[in-house]
Amino acid sequence: MNNLTEQVEDYLRYSQIERGLSANTITSYRQDLTAFINFLKKEHLKTWPTKALDIDAFLAQQRDLNKATSSISRLISSLRKFYQWLVRQNIQKINPMLEIDSPKKRRSLPVALTVDEINHLLDQPNTNKKLGLRDRALLETLYATGIRVSELINLKFNDLHEELKLIKVFGKGSKERLIPISEVALSWIDSYKEKVRDPLILKVGQNCDFIFLNSRGTALTRQAVWQIIKKYCNMAGIQKNVTPHTLRHTFATHLLENGADLRVVQEILGHSDISTTQIYTNLSQKHILQVYAKTHPRT
């Protein structure tokens, strides 16, 4: 088993150095391949399986653990890439993953907030308090730009181009893109910087390039942003299951409902494939039907 673990570590090093994959992707690969090794250990298999039947047995075990379809799909993807590497390295001659199909994904509509709900949410932070002002600026930025939470926590002040009303973000695969940001969001960021962030930096005596900081003067984590959003959703009495990604969905939905072009939304969100963006058209079509039903005299 040590040999298998060493090969996984070699593969992960290759993925990080040669392919330039992110730390989050490497963590996911390690988690998936470790689960596979643990399965092989229980089955007393000392080499990588060459039969699709053994891979199917592993996937069946994962389904028995009530893993979601998306998790099974990710496992298959991880194993597929790993076996391709094994073959290229002449560690394996047979690739059983060629016989394994990915499960059909049920594409559910993303949760989005209504305009009233998002306005109510944005009004919740007490901006007379330091953390409240930071949280208002943070929420306004998420809704104004549709950026991912990972992009938000990595935002720096030199990424802001206030005179152009643009921000620079680094998305998946470190792809850089410039996207619009509203004057409203910029004004909240400026207020937070002047009244909260700059005094905090002076107090802790240590500079930090990131825009959104915790009370210790260091960058916020993804978990902290999630907790901030949950806190204000509870205060606003919003019953939906809201995550940082929900604000991204809400941003895209509201743009499309107000006539934005799908390609423009794709560019702003940083989707490499427009089919990823097209899920939002279902939501905007629903909005169109509601408007039609309310406004047509013969419905």
Catalytic residue among 148, 197, 249, 254: 148
CA separation for the pair 240, 246 (Å, rounded)? 10
Q: Is 120 among the residues known to form the active site?
A: no
Q: Is 248 among the residues known to form the active site?
A: yes
Strands of 166-170's sheet in order across: 160-161, 166-170, 176-180
Yes or no: say if 62 and 76 are a contact pair by the CB < 8 Å rule: no
> How many separate helices (H) and strands (E) can be counted in the chain?
14, 3
Q: Is 172 among the residues known to form the active site?
A: yes
| Rg of the chain in Å (alpha carbons) | 23
Nearest-CA neighbor of 96 among 48, 62, 61, 59? 48
Catalytic residue among 81, 248, 249, 254: 248
Q: Is 298 among the residues known to form the active site?
A: no
> Encoding tokens for residue 180?
């619009």
What stretches of 99-248 adopt beta strand conformation (E)? 160-161, 166-170, 176-180
Catalytic residue among 30, 74, 222, 271: 271
Catalytic residue among 11, 192, 232, 280: 280
Catalytic residue among 172, 177, 195, 230: 172
What phi and psi values does residue 203 have, to the nearest 5 degrees?
-65, -45
Catalytic residue among 120, 195, 245, 287: 245
> Encoding tokens for residue 280?
């939002």
Residue 288 CA, chain-centre distance (Å), reads 28
CA separation for the pair 89, 83 (Å, rounded)? 10
Q: Is 280 among the residues known to form the active site?
A: yes
Q: Is 148 among the residues known to form the active site?
A: yes
Q: Which residues are catalytic?
A: 148, 172, 245, 248, 271, 280
